[in-house]
Structure formats: C-alpha cells, structure tokens
Amino acid sequence: MPSYKGRKCYFDDQHIDNIDYKNVRLLKKFITKYNKITPRYYSGTCLKHQKKLTSAIKNARFMALVGFTK
C-alpha cells in the first residue's frame, strides 16, 4: 500500500494564496479521471487549501469550465 503521510501541501510549497476557479490547468491536478475531487489524504493538501480548492472546483463546474461527470 502506498503511503501518503509525508506529503506537503502543494499550495504551501508554491506559495499560492488564492485559488482561482478560472485556472483550469491547476484544478485538473486535483480532479480524478471521473471528475471527482480528490480527498485530502490523496492530494496532500491542508484543510484550509482543500476548502478553497473545493469551492473553486464547484464554481468552475457551475461556469462549465470543468465537467460534472465524464
């Protein structure tokens, strides 16, 4: 089984404070092939950035930049 324990938050490493819903390339890194949002224990994001990421993905879905399903 792979261990995801030592991962650092991607947004903390890259010094990204605001997650924009229009940045589809960034959002696609945190979406599975079935367009589901990856959980924290897979992606390694901290809680603060996971909440911002989730709301950005939901906004992008509503604006039809990212699909709801495959």
DSSP-assigned states of every residue in 7-40: PPPHHHHTT-----TT-HHHHHTTB-TTSPBPPH
Q: How far apart are CA 23 and CA 5, in angstroms?
A: 27
CATH number of 19-62: 4.10.640.10
Domain limits, the chain: 19-62
**Which residue stretches of the chain have pLDDT < 50?**
none
Predicted confidence (pLDDT) per residue in 33-51, tens digit: 999 999 998 999 999 999 9
Number of residues that make up the chain: 70
Q: Which residues is 31 bridged to in the sheet?
A: 37
Q: Is 50 helix (H, G, I), strand (E, B) or coil?
A: helix
The pair of three-digit structure tokens given for residue 68, joined into one six-digit string: 């709801």
pTM comes to 0.89
